[in-house]
Amino acid sequence: MVVYWKQFAGVSITVTLMAKTQENTSENAQKSREQLQKDVNSLKELLREAYLEIQKLKEGLHNYENPGDGYNKRWTMVTKLVFLVAKAGKPLRSAEIIPLLTDRQPEIIKKQDSLEKYISAFLNTAMKHGRLIPYKLKGVRGNFYCLPEWMDEDGELLQKMRQKVY
Residue 56: predicted pLDDT: 86
Give the mean pLDDT of 21-37. 70
Give the mean pLDDT of 22-49. 80
Give the mean pLDDT of 81-101. 93
* AA letter at 53: E
Residue 14: predicted pLDDT: 56
List of residues 6+ apart from 129 with CB closer than 8 A: 78
Residue 144: predicted pLDDT: 93
Q: Which fold has domain 77-165?
A: Arc Repressor Mutant, subunit A (1.10.10)
Rounded to an integer, what distance in angstroms lies between the CA atom of residue 19 and that of residue 5? 16
Cβ count near 145 (within 10 Å): 24
Percent of the chain with pLDDT over 70: 78
- In the chain, where the domains are located: 2-65, 77-165
Rounded to an integer, what distance in angstroms lies between the CA atom of residue 35 and that of residue 46? 16
Residue 20: predicted pLDDT: 47
Q: Is the pLDDT of residue 66 over 80?
A: no
**Mapped to the 3 state alphabet, what secondary structure does 65-107 carry?**
HCCCCCCCCCCCHHHHHHHHHHHHCCCECHHHHHHHHHHHCCC
